[in-house]
Amino acid sequence: MFDRDTEGVRIELRSLTKHYPGQPAPAVDDISLDIPAGELVVFVGPSGCGKTTTMKMINRLVEPTSGEIRIGGQDALSLDPDELRRHIGYAIQQVGLFPHQTVAQNIGLVPKLLGWPAGRIAARVEELLALVSLEPSAFRDRYPRQLSGGQQQRVGVARALAADPPVMLMDEPFGATDPITREHLQNEFVKLQKQLRKTIIFVTHDFEEAIKLGDRIAVLREGSKIAQYDTPAAILAAPADDYVAGFIGQDVTLKRLALLRVADVPATGTLPDPLLPQVAADASLREALDAMMAHGSDRCSTPGGVLTYAALCAALGTRPAPAREEVISGDR
Ligand SMILES: Nc1ncnc2c1ncn2[C@@H]1O[C@H](COP(=O)(O)OP(=O)(O)OP(=O)(O)O)[C@@H](O)[C@H]1O
């Protein structure tokens, strides 16, 4: 199959359509989309617009009415659906862990189906638990009911990753968690994806999550029609129309602050300044601004030099506030 390589492979959807029997209109109406190898593409759109149906056609949980799906160049519709699903990780909001199996058994499910030897499965379970920040000795023998919702979702993500599939489908996998756990899971997931470079389709209702995780975002309308498909920065900078602008919502500047990294903004000089608040190169501009405000300073030090408030504003395309007091007490 297409996963001789565990890094992502390209997914191509061509005129993909699903018309559920008895429904007046197709749930997915002629979607064509290219998802580059190793990228994470987020689907956002209103409830019922066809996000889940589109995703479930890719692993053949839903059979398309017409159209084509190519995964790593192979025609997914000509493959055996069960076999196909063993090579595509799938994580969903309801998690779907088996209640009478332990965490280790749940994670080892697909490797077992693929015939891995027991030793290899056990090693993989340990590795994955550590990857999703669950101490293996404390968690491997527990049952799902003995875990919090957020821990269950981590196990769900670990299970989806278990056989190291090149493709992952994730349908609101962090949806059932509180905002703090959710942010923690998102941060871990961003780090993980940087290492793994899988091809991932991720469905969410949360535009902030889409910006944080997505290499690209597909904003969908009814029938999975694509309203805009681009990088988060491009969508925030130039929404295609009022519909997309409505999705982005208020506080575009705040969202761009969260998106842009310190390393994206030219620093003054090249020498860090030990007397200023210190900010990492991969920190967001939002974090840099928070550090400046916490120290009452209009600059902070980064590994690449000194970042000023004026440079930060220039990167956002906004004018700096006139006085420092306003920076400190201003409404962000
Ligand atoms: N098995 C089914 N039979 C008939 N209609 C269905 C079926 N599954 C989904 N639909 C309909 O297809 C449309 C798209 O549903 P889908 O679940 O793909 O949307 P979604 O964008 O994922 O929604 P949500 O964000 O609420 O999860 C909806 O109108 C839904 O009612």
Output the domain CATH number for residue 76. 3.40.50.300
Q: What CA–CA distance (Å, rounded) separates 292 from 269?
A: 18
**Contact (CB, 8 A) for 195 and 125:** no
Taking residues 302-324, report their average pLDDT: 79
User: Do both 31 and 172 map to the same domain?
Assistant: yes
CA of 60 to the centre of ligand 1 (A): 15
Take residue 95 and report the two structure tokens written for it.
Answer: 């998690």
User: Do both 35 and 169 map to the same domain?
Assistant: yes
Q: Which atom of ligand 1 is nearest to the CA of 18?
A: 12
Taking residues 214-226, report their average pLDDT: 93
DSSP labels, 106-144:
HHTHHHHHTT--HHHHHHHHHHHHHHTT--HHHHTT--G
Q: Which residue has the tokens 């997931």?
A: 189
Q: Mark residue 236 as left, alpha or beta (left: phi above 0; alpha: psi -120 to 50; beta: remaining).
A: alpha
User: Do both 105 and 190 map to the same domain?
Assistant: yes
CA of 49 to the centre of ligand 1 (A): 7
Query: Is it the case that residue 326 has pLDDT exceeding 60?
Result: no
Neighbours of 261 (CB within 10 A): 15
User: Do both 92 and 184 map to the same domain?
Assistant: yes
User: Do both 152 and 289 map to the same domain?
Assistant: no
Name the residue at shortest CA distance from atom 8 of ligand 1: 53
Among 194, 228, 249, identify where a domain stops: 249
Name the residue at shortest CA distance from atom 16 of ligand 1: 50
CA of 40 to the centre of ligand 1 (A): 23
Q: Which of 190, 132, 201, 200 is nearest to 166 (CA)?
A: 200
Taking residues 202-211, report their average pLDDT: 89
Q: Which atom of ligand 1 is nearest to the CA of 205?
A: 25
User: Do both 234 and 266 map to the same domain?
Assistant: no
Name the residue at shortest CA distance from atom 6 of ligand 1: 20
Q: Which atom of ligand 1 is nearest to the CA of 172?
A: 27
Q: What CA–CA distance (Å, rounded) separates 97 from 80?
A: 24
What is the residue range of 279's domain? 256-329
Rounded mean pLDDT of the chain? 86
Three-class SS state of 313: helix
Q: Which of 236, 240, 265, 239 is nearest to 253 (CA)?
A: 236
User: Do both 294 and 325 map to the same domain?
Assistant: yes
Taking residues 94-99, report their average pLDDT: 80
Neighbours of 64 (CB within 10 A): 22
| Ligand 1 binding site (Cβ under 6 Å of any ligand atom) | 20, 23, 27, 45, 47-53
User: Do both 312 and 222 map to the same domain?
Assistant: no
Taking residues 291-320, report their average pLDDT: 86
CA of 50 to the centre of ligand 1 (A): 6
Give per-residue pLDDT as tens, 159-180.
888 888 889 899 988 876 777 7
Q: Residue 176 gets which letter from DSSP?
A: T
Name the residue at shortest CA distance from atom 30 of ligand 1: 48
3-state helix, strand, coil in the chain (%, to 5): 40, 20, 35
Give per-residue pLDDT as tens, 60-86.
999 999 999 999 999 999 999 988 888
Name the residue at shortest CA distance from atom 31 of ligand 1: 48
CA of 140 to the centre of ligand 1 (A): 35
ipTM of the complex as predicted: 0.97
What residues contact 24, with CB distance under 8 A and at least 6 apart? none
Phi, psi of 223 (to 5 degrees): 80, 20
Taking residues 201-214, report their average pLDDT: 90
DSSP labels, 18-78:
E--TT-SS-SEEEEEEEE-TT-EEEEE--TTSSHHHHHHHHTTSS--SEEEEEETTEEGGG
> Residue 303 is part of a domain; what is its CATH number?
3.90.1280
H or E stretch covering 168: strand 167-171
CA of 324 to the centre of ligand 1 (A): 51
Query: Is it the case that residue 305 has pLDDT exceeding 70?
Result: yes
Name the residue at shortest CA distance from atom 5 of ligand 1: 20
Lowest mean pLDDT among 5-9, 28-32, 123-127: 5-9
User: Do both 158 and 261 map to the same domain?
Assistant: no
Q: What CA–CA distance (Å, rounded) separates 183 from 173?
A: 12
Q: Which atom of ligand 1 is nearest to the CA of 52?
A: 22
Three-class SS state of 235: helix
Q: Which atom of ligand 1 is nearest to the CA of 49?
A: 21
CA of 53 to the centre of ligand 1 (A): 6
Which strands make up the sheet holding 74-75, listed edge to edge? 28-35, 11-18, 66-71, 74-75
Take residue 39 and report the two structure tokens written for it.
Answer: 């990228």
CA of 45 to the centre of ligand 1 (A): 12
Lowest mean pLDDT among 50-59, 171-180, 266-275: 171-180
Q: What CA–CA distance (Å, rounded) separates 203 from 197?
A: 18
User: Do both 181 and 37 map to the same domain?
Assistant: yes
Name the residue at shortest CA distance from atom 25 of ligand 1: 47
Substitution candidate for ligand 1 out of 23, 43, 205, 220 with most atoms within 8 A of CB: 23
Number of domains the chain contains: 2
CA of 218 to the centre of ligand 1 (A): 17
CA of 121 to the centre of ligand 1 (A): 36
Give per-residue pLDDT as tens, 22-54.
999 999 999 999 999 999 999 999 889 999 999
